[in-house]
């Protein structure tokens, strides 16, 4: 009887513990600027034109792991390797 | 004893079942083109110029929930509301 009780307590505790985590597990952005209600980035045609003229190409992060967000810093490669995901940047070029 | 055995089987089954899901839980892209090893989208300055001239602005999805990927179709709003996430598109405009 004791072991059954112990098991039940364990399962119950774990389920309660998981409730709070369920939401974060479904987050696409796990860590960047979580104090902001929504992260959108807006550029004009001119901004884009300037940056492409200067850099030849520019990659924008869609994996939300970049340390230089909104730019891609290549972190998607590590993320894809570790998790088996298949995300990559949006690239604008000459 | 039987109930203990039943509980153990239940837990064991659930853990085994969860093993495969652990990785998918950390995916940023849960559903789009999962047969592709990596999803990158590349546009030229001319492509961007044309689309902005035509549409005034264009939003690119970074939440991986859009039915019109790589374009944003507004699905990030539902995703953010349901999960408490804070993701949004990359917008290019005039
Ligand atoms: S670092 Fe995020 S897409 Fe490259
Ligand atoms: S639908 Fe994905 S960012 Fe808007």
The pLDDT value recorded for residue B21 is 65
- Whether residue A25 is predicted with pLDDT greater than 90 in this model: the reply is no
Which residue is it, tokens 């039987």? B2
Q: How many CB atoms lie within 10 A of CB B10?
A: 12
The pLDDT value recorded for residue A7 is 86
Rounded CA separation B77/A12 (Å): 33
Residue B62 CB less than 6 A away from ligand 2 = yes
CB contact set of B43 (below 8 Å; sequence gap of 6+)? A90, A91, A92, A93
- Whether residue A12 is predicted with pLDDT greater than 80 in this model: the reply is yes
Partner residue opposite A85 with nearest CB, options B7, B28, B48: B28
Please check whether residue B93 is in contact with residue A43, taking contact to mean a CB–CB distance below 8 angstroms.
yes
- Whether residue B31 is predicted with pLDDT greater than 80 in this model: the reply is yes
pTM for this one?
Answer: 0.81
Give the pLDDT band of residue A4 (cuts 50, 70, 90): confident
Nearest ligand 2 atom, CA B63: 2
The pLDDT value recorded for residue A15 is 77
Q: Parallel, antiparallel, or unpaired for β A57-60 and A87-93?
A: antiparallel
Query: Which H or E element spans position B19?
Result: helix B2-25
- Whether residue B19 is predicted with pLDDT greater than 80 in this model: the reply is no
Compute the count of residue pairs across chains A and B with CB atoms less than 8 Å apart.
137
ipTM (interface predicted TM): 0.81
The pLDDT value recorded for residue B71 is 98
Rank A12-21, B4-13, B49-58 by mean pLDDT and report only the highest.
B49-58
Q: Please, what is the Cα angle at B55 between B54 and B61, to 5 degrees?
A: 130
CB contact set of B83 (below 8 Å; sequence gap of 6+)? A23, A26, A27
pLDDT digits (tens, 9 = 90+) for A31-79: 999 999 999 999 999 999 999 999 999 999 999 999 999 999 999 999 9
Q: Report the SS3 class of residue A89.
A: strand
DSSP-assigned letters across all residues of A9-55: HHHHHHHHHHHHHHHHHT-S-SSTTTTSS-EEEEEEHHHHHHHHHHH
- When the pLDDT of each residue in chain B is averaged and rounded to a whole number, the result is 91
Give the pLDDT band of residue A27 (cuts 50, 70, 90): very high
Sheet holding A39-44, edge to edge: A39-44, B87-93, B57-60
List the single range of A7-11, B17-21, B65-69 with lowest mean pLDDT: B17-21
- Whether residue B7 is predicted with pLDDT greater than 90 in this model: the reply is no
A38 annotated active-site: yes
The DSSP symbol for A6 reads H
């Amino acid at each position: 009887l004791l072991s059954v009780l112990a098991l039940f307590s364990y399962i119950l505790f774990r389920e309660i513990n998981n409730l709070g985590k369920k939401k974060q597990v479904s987050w696409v952005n796990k860590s960047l600027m979580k104090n902001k209600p929504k992260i959108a980035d807006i550029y004009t045609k001119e901004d884009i034109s300037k940056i492409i003229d200067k850099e030849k190409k520019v990659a924008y992060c869609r994996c939300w792991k970049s340390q230089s967000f909104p730019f891609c810093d290549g972190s998607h490669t590590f993320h894809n390797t570790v998790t088996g995901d298949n995300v990559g940047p949006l690239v604008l070029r000459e």
